[in-house]
Chains A and B, each alone.
Chain A
């Protein structure tokens, strides 16, 4: 178990009133997992992450990360985890990117040969060669985030914590980062804990999702299971050769919507798509079908509302 928390909580005192930012978080993460840590703004995600990294002292409960007590053994833990904050920078603003990497390696006491090997790999995969000698303050956000992720990985951490890593990035930059992180996680030696409001990040990277709200764990499950439980039904979109009336009465169909004067019908259904297609084909002549999965946005909307 790389992360284990029990009853983890943190209150903030504002004008003599105790405000629980995190009330009771119990979390178990196995090595090699990729966990999406979701929740609306103010749910306590970042506060939890800061407690897991030892920067913030909990007011309740316990946490073990990499087998260490994050607060008491913060320095030892910092050598074994990497952290990326999408809204903050761990690079040296005034120095060229390459010098930031060198300093980062020195602070983590990474042997020179391993540092070079790791850096070369990241530079190639993230296509950073062109701007290694550019001062960090002159980098675009996309370039800088590639640098941030590289810095967080240079010391070969066991756990990589990403707090909104794709915030503000354009689609191509997000995709490049996701591909890279997926590859890093797929090798099995780096556990990912990711908070984001960008659900494609989760879809792409995480098999497991933990949703917290008001400082408590609301849901902790497999993404596929959550889809089935919360995301509502799939929809079969049927394009017809000739217009037809609404296809009521088919097996498992709970709702029918007719578009394009009856040329296209949307059948919300439960159960098997194959059986439904065969049944529909016996009633009308079908030109094309597609099955729409419920989106993860719908899923999260349902979860936050519940």
Chain B
């Protein structure tokens, strides 16, 4: 038996695939919100045919791909590590002969894999049935998109890991998650395309990992801009966030107070 991490990826997939009804309920919500968001963007485009390079096809693709990627990238709702720090169950995680960050990342990739099947493909199919989705013209785009989506998951994991690890200091990280819940969606290009932001805001956001989460994979899919540079940017943020996460985990576990006896 060589490395446990591939098995942890599979376990992450299996763990999430046990909750099929929850996945179905979430999917329904995704689709309803997709319809609302599509209606809003189409109302904007009814005033002008093209806004910052987005025509109707690009806009509806942006909406449905965003809805599908939402639970793949997983912006919100991952509070597992913070909860385990708060309850003291993290003592189990730290007592295993593994790299905790790598183990959690492996589990998260498995989770994302299940989400591709259960949460990305159905909204895209639904969107394609009702709206003029713009599919990639170049075959290579599919592979680039797959890489961009995976890097988005890793960047998202890196951010979520840091948010969760704040519980080592705060014990209750709910406030941190609440702030991220408000700003995360807007800054990452999930709510409206970042191209619609004013110039100064786009420049500022370029210095953050936020666009890597949704805007970059969606841009790659829509064949907007140069993909390799975009992927390199994502990879940079992924490596940086994981690196910072390692330092934080090391520091945090040194000052750990195990809760609950």
- Evaluate contact between A78 and B96: CB separation under 8 angstroms: yes
**Which of the residues B1, B7, B18, B260 comes within 8 Å of A135, measured between beta carbons?**
B18
CA distance in complex: A46, B261 (Å): 6
Binds A, one of B70-78, B84-92, B126-134, B139-147: B84-92
Binds B, one of A105-113, A139-147, A263-271: A105-113
Identify the 4 closest CB pairs spanning chains A and B, nearest first: A78-B97, A106-B4, A94-B15, A107-B4
CB of B256 closer than 8 Å to a CB of A = yes
Q: Mark A99-127, 1 if CB is under 8 A from B, else 0.
A: 10011011111111001000000000000
CA distance in complex: A123, B88 (Å): 29
- Evaluate contact between A92 and B91: CB separation under 8 angstroms: no
- Evaluate contact between A55 and B4: CB separation under 8 angstroms: no
- Evaluate contact between B18 and A55: CB separation under 8 angstroms: no
- Evaluate contact between A105 and B1: CB separation under 8 angstroms: yes
CA distance in complex: A169, B94 (Å): 26
- Evaluate contact between A95 and B97: CB separation under 8 angstroms: no
Binds B, one of A82-90, A250-258, A281-289: A82-90
Taking Cβ atoms with an 8 Å cutoff, the residues of A that contact B are: 12, 41, 46-47, 50, 53-57, 74-76, 78-79, 83, 85, 87-90, 92, 94-95, 99, 102-103, 105-112, 115, 135
- Evaluate contact between B1 and A87: CB separation under 8 angstroms: no
Q: A12-B257, A79-B97 are known contacts; what are 9 more A-B pairs with Cβ within 8 Å?
A: A74-B95, A87-B260, A94-B14, A94-B15, A95-B11, A106-B4, A106-B7, A107-B96, A109-B97
Query: Which of chain B's residues have a CB closer than 8 A to the CB of A12?
Result: 257
Query: Which of chain A's residues have a CB closer than 8 A to the CB of B162?
Result: none
Query: Could you tell me the dominant secondary structure of chain A's interface residues?
Result: mixed
- Evaluate contact between B1 and A112: CB separation under 8 angstroms: yes
Most buried by B among A76, A79, A87, A89: A87
CA distance in complex: A84, B8 (Å): 21
CB of B20 closer than 8 Å to a CB of A = no
CB of B186 closer than 8 Å to a CB of A = no
- Evaluate contact between A85 and B1: CB separation under 8 angstroms: no
Query: Which of chain B's residues have a CB closer than 8 A to the CB of A102?
Result: 7
- Evaluate contact between B92 and A88: CB separation under 8 angstroms: yes
CB of B23 closer than 8 Å to a CB of A = no
Q: What would 27 A/B residue contacts be, using CB atoms closer than 8 Å?
A: A12-B257, A41-B261, A46-B258, A46-B261, A50-B91, A53-B95, A54-B95, A55-B94, A57-B256, A74-B94, A74-B95, A83-B92, A85-B92, A87-B260, A88-B88, A88-B89, A88-B92, A89-B92, A103-B8, A105-B1, A106-B1, A106-B8, A107-B4, A107-B96, A107-B98, A109-B1, A111-B1
Query: Which of chain A's residues have a CB closer than 8 A to the CB of B260?
Result: 87
CB of B48 closer than 8 Å to a CB of A = no
Query: Which of chain A's residues have a CB closer than 8 A to the CB of B97?
Result: 75-76, 78-79, 107-109
CB of B138 closer than 8 Å to a CB of A = no
Most buried by A among B11, B95, B96, B253: B95
Residues of chain B in range 84-142 having any CB-CB distance to chain A below 8 Å: 88-89, 91-92, 94-98, 103
